A and B are shown apart, each in its own frame.
Chain A
């Protein structure tokens, strides 16, 4: 009986030692560092740099996600970003974490120029250098570069910065998706939904001043 056991142990020991050595060799020989995933995650974040996620900027959050942080903490990105991240990381999308703020419409900062005292505080606060101006001179926001992060609002001593929602105009307008009537009647979204322009499924009618 004991010889059997000893043979068994010896064989297994031999195998294990060989395999262990192999793995030890490989661990050393094929060592790699770095992770390209962070870049991919970062590319999906909106780069608003607003810190609402609880991280100082998008990249730190990207790194945190790579280390297992939840993906639902970026309000500016909203659902679209969460879905994109979920897709990339192959996890279930979660609803936006309300503790970090709610998803908002696209916004920009506007400086009320006659009130601006030229203190340059906002310039220092803007993470993307979207504010132009020199000391003691009126400042302006470059609208196309502003991410709407509202970090400049707080530091302004005279509160002359407004964050305004970008209203769609005729040139930025896009079609809304049709409304589908396959829910029970009480679940049908109301036809007065602002995004609904016209649908085939629900002939929405508008008052018209005829002639």
Chain B
């Protein structure tokens, strides 16, 4: 009989990474459902396609790097990346757009850096940003109109064939500018009242989008409750956005109103699911706050003055870029120390 030899601790809490990732997937389900209810089958098809592709790509690349494939596939992170891409791409994005996005997310952003845990940038957002600048046409014209505004609503089969046909643009009438897009292009030349006449705004804030965002918010709260994410990032993100909005004024004729910022586009998905990607986010509480407030502020900045109507992807990437630096300068204060030791160890000079 042999005795196990092992270093302490000998007890472990049973919540492995794969389970954490599974929870993220589960928490995203309400949002996905809301998307399906309000925007049709597109997201669901995208999600399935992206996840399948993500797993296949990850397996292939792990094989190439001669890493144990099963061991790493089981951690579910590729699935999360695929899921988040599927959730954020336009509903009628042609299949190859998703494929390029998934491929660049998994290969370039993740595995080239050494795979899980090593990627400095959020893989899903790398994929998204990359296709956004590569294929602006496919990425701006394929947003589904909210259910109810469809002329001749496409069913599952039609949606699938639209995506699978690979056409850069979907059938007119199925698609519509997103509320953020619409606002962005008319603000300044139109008054708020004139802008919001557009059917995409619906009766409340942004037809369909408001419920999708609410659903993601709910899922995010589940993650918070499970302590899978800490409050710093979502609060920082939304706080930064709100603060900027208040700072630049709430005059809806000049700038998009706060409600639109919060409930349209990928705000809640970004705040709870994307900015919180632990691998590419800052480490300490203070660092997380800086990182998240930065994202919120950048989202506002780019949405208001930049070219891109929804800026979550770019803002997340930009702050990812700053994360290692932030980490160096925001270590927590350790027990028994007066203040935190910031920066780098100074080389011993004798």
Task: Report whether B66 and A198 are in contact in the complex, using a CB–CB cutoff of 8 Å.
Answer: no
Within 8 A of A (CB), among B1-55: 1-7
Task: Report whether A208 and B1 are in contact in the complex, using a CB–CB cutoff of 8 Å.
Answer: yes
B68 within 8 A of A: yes
Chain B residues in 8 Å Cβ range of A2:
none
A185 within 8 A of B: yes
Residue ID in chain B nearest A175 by CB atoms: B7
User: Could you tell me the distance in whole angstroms from the C-beta of A35 to the nearest C-beta in chain B?
Assistant: 15
Chain B residues in 8 Å Cβ range of A208:
1-3
User: Could you tell me the distance in whole angstroms from the C-beta of B288 to the nearest C-beta in chain A?
Assistant: 27
- Docked Cα-Cα span, A187 to B65, in Å, equals 12
Task: Report whether B5 and A206 are in contact in the complex, using a CB–CB cutoff of 8 Å.
Answer: yes
- Docked Cα-Cα span, A24 to B226, in Å, equals 71
User: Could you tell me the distance in whole angstroms from the C-beta of B17 to the nearest C-beta in chain A?
Assistant: 13
Q: Is the interface of B mostly helix, strand, loop or mixed?
A: loop
Task: Report whether A182 and B68 are in contact in the complex, using a CB–CB cutoff of 8 Å.
Answer: yes
User: Could you tell me the distance in whole angstroms from the C-beta of B4 to the nearest C-beta in chain A?
Assistant: 5
Residue ID in chain A nearest B9 by CB atoms: A200
**Per a CB cutoff under 8 Å, which of A181, A187, A200 touches B71?**
A181
- Docked Cα-Cα span, A67 to B3, in Å, equals 56
Residue ID in chain B nearest A201 by CB atoms: B6
1/0 per residue, CB under 8 A from B, across A176-202: the answer is: 001001111101000000000111100
User: Could you tell me the distance in whole angstroms from the C-beta of B175 to the nearest C-beta in chain A?
Assistant: 44
Chain B residues in 8 Å Cβ range of A204:
5-6
A207 within 8 A of B: yes
User: Could you tell me the distance in whole angstroms from the C-beta of A7 to the nearest C-beta in chain B?
Assistant: 47
B152 within 8 A of A: no
Interface hub of B6, B66, B347, B349 (most chain A Cβ within 10 A): B6
B67 within 8 A of A: yes
Task: Report whether A199 and B2 are in contact in the complex, using a CB–CB cutoff of 8 Å.
Answer: no
Task: Report whether A200 and B68 are in contact in the complex, using a CB–CB cutoff of 8 Å.
Answer: no
Q: A183-B67, A184-B67 are in contact. Are A205 and B350 (CB under 8 A)?
A: no
1/0 per residue, CB under 8 A from B, across A30-51: the answer is: 0000000001100100000000
Task: Report whether B3 and A185 are in contact in the complex, using a CB–CB cutoff of 8 Å.
Answer: no
User: Could you tell me the distance in whole angstroms from the C-beta of B83 to the nearest C-beta in chain A?
Assistant: 24
A91 within 8 A of B: no
A1 within 8 A of B: no
- Docked Cα-Cα span, A2 to B21, in Å, equals 77
Task: Report whether B3 and A199 are in contact in the complex, using a CB–CB cutoff of 8 Å.
Answer: no
Chain B residues in 8 Å Cβ range of A207:
2
Task: Report whether A198 and B68 are in contact in the complex, using a CB–CB cutoff of 8 Å.
Answer: no
Chain B residues in 8 Å Cβ range of A181:
68, 71
Task: Report whether B1 and A210 are in contact in the complex, using a CB–CB cutoff of 8 Å.
Answer: yes
**Per a CB cutoff under 8 Å, which of B3, B7, B66, B350 touches A206?**
B3
- Docked Cα-Cα span, A40 to B347, in Å, equals 11
Chain A residues in 8 Å Cβ range of B6:
198-200, 203-204
Task: Report whether B4 and A203 are in contact in the complex, using a CB–CB cutoff of 8 Å.
Answer: yes
Chain B residues in 8 Å Cβ range of A185:
68
User: Could you tell me the distance in whole angstroms from the C-beta of B117 to the nearest C-beta in chain A?
Assistant: 10
- Docked Cα-Cα span, A197 to B72, in Å, equals 26
Chain A residues in 8 Å Cβ range of B347:
88
**Per a CB cutoff under 8 Å, which of A178, A184, A200, A210 touches B66?**
A184
Chain A residues in 8 Å Cβ range of B67:
182-184
Residue ID in chain B nearest A203 by CB atoms: B4
Task: Report whether A198 and B1 are in contact in the complex, using a CB–CB cutoff of 8 Å.
Answer: no
Chain B residues in 8 Å Cβ range of A184:
66-68
A–B pairs, 28, beta carbons within 8 Å: A40-B349, A88-B347, A175-B7, A181-B68, A182-B71, A183-B66, A183-B67, A184-B66, A184-B68, A185-B68, A197-B5, A197-B7, A198-B5, A199-B6, A199-B7, A200-B7, A203-B4, A203-B6, A204-B5, A205-B2, A205-B4, A205-B5, A206-B2, A206-B5, A207-B2, A208-B1, A208-B3, A210-B1
